[in-house]
Chains A and B, each alone.
Chain A
């Protein structure tokens, strides 16, 4: 299901914007096991670490800028992180009732460490 969702998003992004160039709408987060997550740039910038990583030195080549390879974060954790970005973007400054963000207890510890690293 999640894979389908991601595939769908990848098909969509040719219409809504892509990962190319410094002003791209979407960026790619790659987990340690090679799973690529495409998320909206502004959502991901909620993480201080990701923000710092994206604004470092280096040439702004076409493909280089908008991917981050997290060799330490597995996909089952990174997946939750991306969901959290969406959740936060949706409910920040919202007056409607905010549902709970559920976390499966098995991944809780790893998610905690990832959150610590990513500063979000």
Chain B
């Protein structure tokens, strides 16, 4: 039954034709008729002696063409007002029907495909066109017979509808219908693999873009003459949004981008000078809405921003300078950090909200702030930023910081990192911070170890592993010392029969990890302390054979109980102050010069100590005589008078600042040699770029780099090649 046999084409075709007509009209077809047609097609294609597929193809083609021509006539006679609507309805019906047709003719399609594949090997292009698959045929017929003939009327009608939508007039045909029509232009070319949008673009898109550009030109000229820049921008953005929505909803997706860029060209670029006339004023006056609008308009235009970034940067810089100049002198470091942070938050939010965190503007912000933070408040002095920031953190981390909750302190410390990022001389900050930390640890002024550790973690990422390590070392030392002290106390109680009349504890500090300046000052320990310090030394030497201990007296402090007054007082004081007072155990009055001789301190140091004691009225100075003040009284019982002598001396800060110079030079030399060893040969410019990228903790000036290179050449590590431009070679 499935064998090829004689087939009467005309008969079979008559039945098939009727079914096809019904399909095109979307009329229901009984099941078995549907199934029977499959067999008919199979039989026609496999007919013997000759297959009928050519005849089948031609007949089907003719049928389709007739049907579609009828539709065309209908459309043309029914008048232009409803043309689009009719086209849409007929198209929807047709495309449904032809899909069914395609699946009915499936056998035909499959054999046809195989056939044309083999034939194309033998035939050349100029021969009669090969048969298409039915699906493709139906679309081709529609294209040729309806779409092309309507090309004079339909595109225009479509464009008119869009114009009506633009001018807010009532539309004859709903835009959804138009969307379907436009899709038909694309679906009709479904089988054109190379450029399926060809019809759509030539038939509709190009005229549409042309009409749109005319509209935009007209509108933008009219608006720019009537409105101010702000109003123009607002209105134009509204139009842009509307056009975008319309394009996305009704047109093919490829048109959206073309439309937007054309819009920008006409409305923004052609009026660029108009917009820029006001743009600088907008920034200077901080008109945020306008700034946002102009950002939205210019962001996709090449070089659209012009010099706006510079204007923005200058604005921030000016504000920053005003802040710097009006800093309150009292606790200037607090105001420095907090005022700058306030400014930074303000402008950062502007960059985020108004400029959508655009890189161009956030870069301008960073440049401005790095100028502000590193600004030299006094001529010929390095920037005070590292010192101020360190003092600020110091204040927050000390016990004496009251009035702030733990969360607030943590928050403020985290914020200070923002300032830290902008500081150029990061290594100076590291040194000063370390000095402050040492003080806090020795004098047990830290609020909490958690807070300290948190701050170190914050800095670790920016300062590197080495620095954090040094700080951790300091913590470890303190911890170990506590353990040692308890051991010492136990040992002493065991060995000496008589208890020590005073309690004693020592902190052992590793030389490399602590920024202690070894004291070159001489000092004679008071008698009372000699025994226990010696005992401790012996104890330690026994425990750790081979280590050397050096006493740092000027960092020690002690507590004295004053029993010679009606009320008992406990005074915490620096060891130098204490030794002065201890001399008064046996005498009430002593000569100034005597005291000085016994103590063996340097003169100005001695002066400071005596003055501090006089100022708090424990002693009174009478010419050359120093007398114990028997009328001393104070509201509190526990006193601390170390603050006068322990304040940061400017020498300490200076020392930290200057010591970095040597470190920097060494670092730079090491970096250069390391780079050159890797690269062997490098041009001067490239070398400078490499150096700057590898130096994170400070910003080397060009002169500094050049000097270092010269030194290394002199030492024989590098040599300068004779070619121009300047090149260096590594000398092994």
Contact = CB atoms under 8 A, between A and B. Distances in A.
Given A49-B107, A57-B34, A58-B34, A74 B26 contact: no
Contact of B104 (A32, A56, A68, A72): A56
A25 B30 CA distance: 22
A57 B100 contact: yes
A69 B35 contact: yes
Given A49-B106, A49-B107, A56-B29, A113 B2 contact: yes
Interface string B25-44: 01111111011101100100
Contact of A119 (B34, B100, B107): B107
A8 B79 CA distance: 65
Given A52-B38, A52-B106, A117-B42, A58 B31 contact: yes
B112 to A, nearest CB: 13
B107 A117 contact: yes
Contacts of A49: 38, 106-107
A113 B104 contact: no
Given A55-B103, A58-B30, A65-B31, A119 B1 contact: no
B101 to A, nearest CB: 10
Contacts of A32: 1
A64 interface: yes
A101 B151 CA distance: 58
A73 B103 contact: no
A56 B1 contact: no
Overall SS of chain B's interface: helix
Contacts of A108: none
A67 B100 CA distance: 19
Given A49-B38, A53-B38, A117-B42, A74 B1 contact: yes
Contacts of B106: 48-49, 52, 119
A94 interface: no
Contact of A56 (B2, B3, B42, B100): B100
Contacts of A104: none
A16 interface: no
A23 B105 CA distance: 25
B29 A73 contact: no
Given A69-B32, A72-B39, A119 B103 contact: no
Nearest to B22: A57
B145 interface: no
Interface in A100-120: 110, 113-114, 116-117, 119
A32 B30 CA distance: 19
Contacts of A116: 2
A65 B31 CA distance: 7
A95 interface: no
B110 interface: yes
Contacts of B32: 69
Contacts of A74: 1
Interface of B: 1-3, 23, 26-32, 34-36, 38-39, 42, 100, 103-104, 106-107, 110
Nearest 7 pairs of A and B residues by beta carbon: A72-B1, A113-B2, A52-B103, A56-B34, A64-B31, A52-B106, A57-B29
28 contacts: A48-B106, A48-B110, A49-B107, A52-B106, A53-B34, A56-B29, A56-B34, A57-B23, A57-B27, A57-B29, A57-B34, A57-B100, A58-B28, A65-B31, A67-B31, A68-B35, A72-B2, A73-B1, A73-B2, A74-B1, A110-B2, A113-B2, A114-B2, A117-B39, A117-B107, A119-B106, A119-B107, A119-B110
